[in-house]
Amino acid sequence: MTAQDYDAIVLGAGAAGLMCAAVAGQRGRRVLVIDHAEKAGKKILISGGGRCNFTNIGTAPDRFLSANPHFARSALARYTPADFLALVERYGIAWHEKTLGQLFCDGSARQIVAMLLEECARGGVDFALGRPVGGVEHGADGFRVAIGGGRDVPVTARALVVATGGPSIPKMGATGFAYDLARQFGMKVVEPRPALVPLTLGGDDPFRALAGVATPVVARAGKTAFREAMLFTHRGLSGPAILQVSSYWRHGDPIIVDLVPDRVEGWLREAKRATPRAGVGKLLAGALPQRLADALAEMLGLRGELANLSDAKLAAAEQALAAWRFVPNGSEGFAKAEVTVGGVSTADLSSQTLESRKVPGLYVIGEAVDVTGWLGGYNFQWAWASGWAAAQAL
């Protein structure tokens, strides 16, 4: 069977793969994109609640996790949120900033996928969707990829771009294929862990009874803290503050949560002096959702009028509320994780081009790489930027 030959084969029709293919195609390269899914950009379609939080104007290297915190710097500097926004505007896609620099479509994430597919069409990119990738071989002439269970004509190219993402949400077709391929070519993989994921509490934990209650907090894992909302769930903790710290959390570690971030030290003792006859329950309910306030009052043994509570007891309560120690017994895992921390080691890749240092012509981009962004559009920005950077070198 004679192979069909391309300049570049991109494995994965997700955010990074589509961007890379479109840009390389428009630079005159003959590009084929292969994906085992029938449809391109499936994660884009469900992202941002269907509106795709497509970038964050606060993008900076320190908002990404990686064994090498400097690795993302080059690609992020050369393809910026403003560059992607200019593309979105060229397509007349209406957008808005929600909070914290997060940009969303006014309409639908489908517009972003349609835009990327149109960009690919303008670059003359070929697609092989619904095709499982079989073996990948590397020889003097480049790469040879078997697709369609060996029934299809094999394809060859001098460059292979791995853009198959991470294993988050396997139900949607996510796999650890990139890691297997990297290992096949002697590259290292930084242990992949679920990230931007709800954390679980033990079955007898009293906070599980508060499912549905949300409150603004500052949540901290190690040295990293986020001020956002926390949500109690039937299984544990979620909400943006928890999703953010989950990326930094390690099994066995506590999460320290300031449940009253707008109250300064001494607030309960101050209230006792100002209004000694006030009920402590009412005071807590002024700072926290009622159900949470009731539960915390019970746990801290705070009852009755402020005047009847010692300063020492109130000081201890202030301290506990400002640094509540939750010890999750796990996370909801890859099944619920928005992204994966870890992945193909950056030690084996060029930060300029995302090309392997060991295997010339092999590129790894997007979530497959050990670069993971915060919640809020950062992960798509990495997908666009790394896809664009690789495309310049193809």
The reply on whether position 15 binds ligand FDA by CB under 6 A is yes
List the interface residues with ligand FDA, window 23-82 (CB under 6 A). 35-37, 42-43, 46-48, 52-53
All residues at 6 or more sequence positions from 204 whose CB lies less than 8 Å from its CB, including other chains? none
Q: How many CB atoms lie within 10 A of CB 370?
A: 29
CB of 387 to ligand FDA, least distance (A): 7
Q: Which of 377, 385, 391, 394 binds ligand FDA (CB under 6 A)?
A: 377
Per CB under 6 A, contacts with ligand FDA among 333-352 are: 338-339
Rounded to the nearest 10 degrees, what angle do helices 280-287 and 267-274 cross at? 130
CB nearer to ligand FDA: give 176 or 321: 176
User: What are 331's strand-pairing partners?
Assistant: 199
Burial track 42-73 (b if 16+ CB lie within 10 A, e otherwise): bbbbebbeebbbbbbeebebebbbbbeeebbe
Which residue number places its CB atom closest to ligand FDA?
Answer: 14
Quick one: 134 or 279, whose CB is closer to ligand FDA? Answer: 134
* Residues listed for the chain: 394
Least separation, in Å, of the C-beta of 144 and ligand FDA? 16
Beta carbons within 8 Å of 107's beta carbon, 6+ residues apart = 51, 93, 94
Can you tell me which of 248, 366, 385, 389 binds ligand FDA, judged by CB under 6 A?
Answer: 366
Question: Shortest Cβ distance from residue 15 to ligand FDA (Å)?
Answer: 4
Yes or no: say if 71 and 59 are a contact pair by the CB < 8 Å rule.
no
- Give the contact letters, 113-142, x = binds to ligand FDA (CB under 6 A), - = no: -------------------xx---------
Task: Fill in the per-residue mask, 152 to 191: x = in contact with ligand FDA (CB under 6 A), - = not in contact.
Answer: -----------xxx--xx---xxx-x--------------
By C-alpha distance, which of 184, 106, 230, 232 is closest to 362? 184
Cα separation, 47 vs 102, in Å, equals 13
CB nearer to ligand FDA: give 142 or 366: 366
Q: Is 304 helix (H, G, I), strand (E, B) or coil?
A: coil
Site size toward ligand FDA (CB under 6 A) is 38
Q: Which residues bind ligand FDA (CB under 6 A)?
A: 11-17, 35-37, 42-43, 46-48, 52-53, 132-133, 163-165, 168-169, 173-175, 177, 338-339, 366-368, 377-380, 383
